[in-house]
A and B are shown apart, each in its own frame.
Chain A
Amino acid sequence: MIVGTEKADPLLQVAEVSHRFGGLHVLRGVDFGVPPGSLTGLIGPNGAGKSTLFNIISGFLPPQRGTVRFAGRDITRDPVQTRTRAGLVRTFQTPKVFGKLSVRENLMIGCYRHLVSGVVGNMLRSRRSRVEMELMHAQAAEAGERFGLTSVMERAAGQVTAGMQRLVELARACVSQPRLLMLDEPSSGLNTTEIAQLRELLQRLNREGITILLVSHDMHLVEVASRVHVLCFGSIIASGAMAQIKQDERVRQAYLGV
């Protein structure tokens, strides 16, 4: 019964979300959903409120009005880690890798939400603790190969290139097997070739069953999305397929000023 409801309903539902910083109304009753299995895009010019909305969905900022529902449950007041445990995982506009740890260790931590061993068990190297470490190593090795990181696995993540760090962050998020992967401006800092590779990667991940919410101001990247929402001055001004969106007068005005 529950499974049926989840299939019918959006995986993520943002309803009437509003937020203001002092006198500045950043979000005005934003309403949109992310269907399960989709690759949904959220675009908008600089200052549209994308990052604020992203922070509200991922739990870094409580909204002043409105609700966020994930898999049928109201998560508006849940802390970040509770949302993650439910399967909502995000990346950051500036990649946040664990700089002092190796790339391998960064990937290993991706498994964290699925593991349960405690501090004392870890100290005593309990059987569960050892099994979990083996699992973490295996998952990291697999992700390293899948994302083309094998040559840098033992290097400190803080010392690899910006493009690699972006990939490490994405690979780490995928290791956590998210139900919804939220990507915040994943193309920033990447060159044209890397953006093309990123597009392919996102399509592949989506085909493998990961629901993706892609936030970007890069229209070219967002073309991979099956459905796109356009945010402008805190409101959704258009929703639909990319081809449709491109023809929308309000969108053209917001992006091109014509």
Chain B
Amino acid sequence: MSPLRRTLVWGIPFVVWVALPFVATRHIVDLFVFAGLYTIAGLGVAFLLGQCGIVSLAQSVFYGIGAYCTAWFCAHKGLPSPVGMAAGIALSTGIAALVGWPVLRLSGHFLALATLALGIIGQVLFLEWDWLTGGTLGIGGIPRIAPFGFAFDTPFRFYFLVWPIAFLLLVLHHNLLHSRNGLALQAMRDSPEAAAVLGVDSHSLKVKIFVLSAALGSAAGSLFAHYVTFVSVDSFAIDRAISFLLLAVLGGVYTVWGPVLGALFITVLPQWLSRLGDIHAFVFAAALIAAVILLPEGFGGAIRNWWRARAAK
């Protein structure tokens, strides 16, 4: 790729990204903030699915743990934001390691069902342990993230917090993919037996990626709590886990930036279609089915394949 083309490929999206909150309405910027949060949580799910072949429906639990830890430590205890986020990540990764070690010995639909069970158990506990989570009433009054007195208290400001974090995580994801363990993961996905005879401990590697995925889910949950300043059990139901899985599948699990496209699809498109009135849900569902049928490798995979075909010509 020539330097000019490379500059254009990276420069145009960057300019659009910077300009967007200046020209878009507050509501649209708000949607993009959610797209950023979903990108972070969905990245973990996409990595699990794309590199380990694990269908995870448990991400809503880790998203919830991150959010409740932030609510508990920052709203109830008055501790700073990093403490809440670190506590959420520590608890999520601990649970992921404990649960993942036995559960990740399963495979295929049994494993998917096990993660679904984990998602449902989490949802029930979030509801039942109201002494901790506030149950259906939730926990309010969560402070904004305000380093050095600068509060990320508007969609405009939060947009410039959440997306750099998401981009940083995408870069880390890219680094991992192009490393010893990243290659091992891809090898394990293609042929577990052949990977094992090269010394790859598939189970241990799967657990590590599950833990990593939980950390991403938890971090996204913490940011979510700081953004909306109120959390309740409705935000961490199983449909949220399905959304994370959906965005991973739609965006494409074999490309690093696929989850970004998937997150934009499931957050921005339904709102944009809502101007169609009552039939918008139907149109969205049709678009969803069409995307899954026509783009088996997701948006990211389709763009990558198109780009490669063009380069080959």
Contacts and interface: CB of A to CB of B under 8 A. Distances in A.
A105 B181 contact: no
A132 B183 CA distance: 12
Given A98-B195, A129-B180, A136-B180, 4 more contacts: A84-B199, A112-B183, A112-B200, A113-B199
A123 B175 contact: yes
A101 B201 contact: no
Contacts of B18: none
Interface string B176-207: 10111111101101110111111111100000
B193 A85 contact: no
A105 B183 contact: yes
B199 A92 contact: no
A101 B172 contact: no
Closest 7 CB pairs of A and B: A113-B199, A122-B179, A96-B194, A98-B190, A84-B199, A80-B196, A123-B172
B208 interface: yes
Contacts of A113: 198-199
Interface in B206-264: 208-209, 212
B199 A112 contact: yes
A80 B176 CA distance: 25
Contact of A119 (B181, B200, B201): B181
Given A84-B197, A98-B194, A125-B175, A119 B208 contact: yes
Contacts of A132: 179-180
B26 to A, nearest CB: 35
Interface of A: 58, 60, 79-81, 84-85, 89-92, 96-101, 105-106, 108-113, 115, 117-119, 122-125, 129, 132-133, 136, 169, 172-173, 176
B193 A122 contact: no
Contact of B179 (A98, A99, A129, A172): A129
Contacts of A118: 181
B176 A122 contact: yes
Nearest to B198: A112
Most buried by A among B193, B197, B209: B197
7 contacts: A96-B191, A97-B190, A98-B195, A101-B187, A112-B184, A112-B198, A115-B180
Contacts of B183: 101, 105, 108-109, 112, 136
B180 A112 contact: yes
Nearest to A84: B199
Contacts of A125: 175, 179
A145 to B, nearest CB: 20
Contacts of B202: 81
Main secondary structure of the interface of A (DSSP, over half): helix
Contacts of A129: 175, 179-180
A59 B199 CA distance: 12
Contacts of B176: 119, 122-123
Contacts of A110: 198
Contacts of B194: 92, 96-98, 169
B155 to A, nearest CB: 29
A9 B196 CA distance: 27
Most buried by B among A58, A105, A109: A109
A100 to B, nearest CB: 6
A109 B172 contact: no
B193 A100 contact: no
Contacts of B201: 79, 81
A101 B180 contact: no
Contact of B175 (A91, A101, A122, A136): A122
A58 B197 contact: yes
A108 B195 CA distance: 12
Nearest to B199: A113
B175 A85 contact: no
A176 B199 contact: yes
A122 B182 CA distance: 8
B196 A84 contact: yes
Contact of B178 (A90, A111, A133): A133
B201 to A, nearest CB: 5
Given A81-B201, A89-B197, A117-B179, A124 B186 contact: no
B198 A176 contact: yes
Contacts of A112: 180, 183-184, 198-200
Contacts of B198: 84, 89, 109-110, 112-113, 172-173, 176
Nearest to A132: B180
Contacts of A58: 197
Contacts of B193: 60, 80, 92, 96
A79 B203 CA distance: 11
Most buried by B among A80, A91, A172: A80
Nearest to A136: B180
A75 B184 CA distance: 24
A251 B130 CA distance: 76
Contacts of A79: 196, 201
Contact of A100 (B184, B190, B199): B190
Contacts of A136: 180, 183
A176 B194 CA distance: 13
Most buried by A among B193, B208, B209: B193
A124 to B, nearest CB: 7
A101 B182 CA distance: 11
